Amino acid sequence: MLRWKGACPGRLLALLLAGSWGWMAGPALAAEGSLSLEQALRLGREHSPVVQAADARARGAAQLRWEGLGYLLPKVDLQEVAIRSEQPGEVFGLMMNRREAVMDLIAANSLMFSQDQPYGADLVNPDPLNTYITRVTAELPLFAGGQIVNRVRQADLMADAQELRSERERRQVDFDVATAWTNLAKAREYRDLLERARATTKAHVEMARDYQDVGFLVASDVLRAEVQLSQMNELVLRAENGAALAQAALNFQLGLDLRTMHKLEATPALPEAGDDLGAWTEQALGGRPDLAAARKQLKAGELEEWVAGAAFLPTLGLQAGYDWYDDTAFGTDEGSYSIKAALSLNVFRGGSDRARFARARQEYRAGRQDVERFQEGVRLELQQHWGDLQTARLSRQGAEQALTAGRENLRVVEDRFREGVSRMIDLLDAETALREAEVRELVARYDGHMAGFRLRHAAGQEIVKLEEEMSK
C-alpha cells in the first residue's frame, strides 16, 4: 500500500475519530473565509496562551530593573508604636522623651525625702504610663563594596534575558502555527490528488467493463481494476480523515474551536536561501534570542562572583530618624531626631563567605561551558537544517522529472491499451506509478517549505515577514 510521508499514524487517527465523532457527525461549522499563512501567524500571536504567558513574563521581568534600582535609593519607613509600661527605667526614659518635668519631680521627691514626708510620686514603683511613638526612619547605603551596583546590573541583565526568552517563545509559536498551516495545506492537496487519481481509476474501470462487454477483456482484468478502485476509495477516506485532523491541529495552535473550517490561500514562496552555511550560522549566533538570553545570564553569573567577593570589603551606611512622642496615637506633641553612620568590616564569618565566593566562581565557569555548548548545538542545528534544505531542493527536482515521466508514461499506455497493444495490468501499473510520482512531488515540495521554515527558525529569523514588520 502506498504510504504518504507525514501521514497521521493509525492510532492517532483512531483517537481522533473516536473522540470527535460527535462533532464530525453533527452539522459542520461555517467556513471562516480564506486564511493565509500571514493571517494564521497573527491569529496565533493574538490567541495563543503561550504568547500571552510569554508577554506576561516579559512585563514581569521589566520590573526587575525598577527592583534593582530601588536598592540605590533611600529606604523610608513609617512606624507607629504603642507602649504601656510600669518599668521604672522605661517610664523615666519615656517621660524624658515626652519633655515632661522629670527633673522637677526628682527635686520634689528629694525635698520630701529630706523632710521625711511621703513621696508625691514613686519613681521606683511608677504608675503605668501610656505612650505612642510615631517614628520615621530613612536608610541610605553609601558604600557596600560594589554589591548594590552589581545587583542592579544583574537585575537589568536578567530582565533582558527574560525578554529575549519570551521573544523566542513567541517565535516558537510562529513556527508551530506555520507547521500546522503547512500540514493542513499538504493534507488537503494530498486528498485532492487522491480524488483525481480515483477519478482516473474509475474511468479505467468503466473502460474495462466496456471492453469486457465486447469480449476484449476477461473478467479477471475487470476485477483487478475494481480492486484498485476499492483501494483508492480507502486511500481517499484516509486522506479526508487526515485533512480533518490537520484542520483541528491548526485550530488548536490558533486557539480556535476545533471544528472551525478555513479555506487556505496559496502557500507563499520562500525567498531563495543562500548556499553559504557560514552566513546562516553567523546570523544564528548573533541573532537567536535564546542564545542571547543565555549570554545575558552568563554575564549575570560573572557579576555574582563580584558580589560574593564584595563581602570581604567594608560597608558604610547612613541612617536618620525622627520620633514623635505623645499620649495619643499619631500624636506630634514632642519630637526628636537622630543621625547614625555605621562602618562595618567582615573579619570572620565561619568561612561561609569564602565558600559562597568559590561556589559563584565555579557556577560561572559551568555557565560558560553551557553557553559554549549551546553555541555548538546551534551550529549543528544550522548544519542539519541547511543540509535538509539542499536535499529537499534536489529531491523536488527529481520528483518533478519523475512526475513528468509518469504522466507521459500513462498517456502512452492508455493509447496503447485503447489500441489493444497493452494489457489491463500495464495500465493499472502506469496509473499507480503516476500516483506515486505525484505524491513524491507533493511531499518533496512541502518538505522544501518545512526545511526553509526550520532553517529560518534555527537562525533566529521570522518565519514569514508580516506587513507591519516590513513597514518598520
Q: Per residue, what are the HEC states of 327-354?
A: CCCCCCCEEEEEEEEEEECCCCCCCHHH
Per-residue pLDDT averaged across 237-253, rounded? 93
Q: Which pLDDT band holds residue 405 (cuts at 50, 70, 90)?
A: very high
Instruction: Please check whether residue 155 is in contact with residue 316, taking contact to mean a CB–CB distance below 8 angstroms.
Output: no
Residue 234 is which amino acid?
E
Grid coordinates given for 89? 527605667
Q: Which pLDDT band holds residue 468 (cuts at 50, 70, 90)?
A: very low
Instruction: Please check whether residue 246 is in contact with residue 12, taking contact to mean a CB–CB distance below 8 angstroms.
Output: no
CA distance linking residue 454 with residue 446, whole number of Å: 12
Instruction: Please check whether residue 258 is in contact with residue 251, taking contact to mean a CB–CB distance below 8 angstroms.
Output: yes
Per-residue pLDDT averaged across 312-328, rounded? 91
CB count in 10 Å sphere of residue 138: 14
CA distance linking residue 269 with residue 225, whole number of Å: 39
The pLDDT of residue 188 is above 90: yes
Q: What is the pLDDT of residue 110?
A: 63
Domains and CATH numbers, the chain: 10-70+148-306+352-470 (1.20.1600.10), 76-145+316-344 (no CATH)
pLDDT: which is higher, 315 or 267: 315
Instruction: Please check whether residue 121 is in contact with residue 91, taking contact to mean a CB–CB distance below 8 angstroms.
Output: no
Which distant-in-sequence residues (6+ apart) come within 8 Å of 422 by Cβ?
413, 416
Residue 162 is which amino acid?
Q
Grid coordinates given for 47? 490567541
The pLDDT of residue 272 is above 50: yes
The pLDDT of residue 256 is above 80: yes
For the sheet containing 334-344, what is the strand order? Answer: 75-85, 129-143, 315-326, 334-344
Q: Which pLDDT band holds residue 14 (cuts at 50, 70, 90)?
A: very low
Per-residue pLDDT averaged across 281-309, rounded? 90
Q: Which pLDDT band holds residue 20 (cuts at 50, 70, 90)?
A: very low
DSSP per-residue letters across 422-455: S-HHHHHHHHHHHHHHHHHHHHHHHHHHHHHHHH
Which distant-in-sequence residues (6+ apart) come within 8 Å of 400 by Cβ?
441
Which distant-in-sequence residues (6+ apart) come within 8 Å of 270 by Cβ?
449, 452
Q: What is the pLDDT of residues 97-125, one digit of tens each?
A: 887 766 666 665 665 555 555 544 566 67
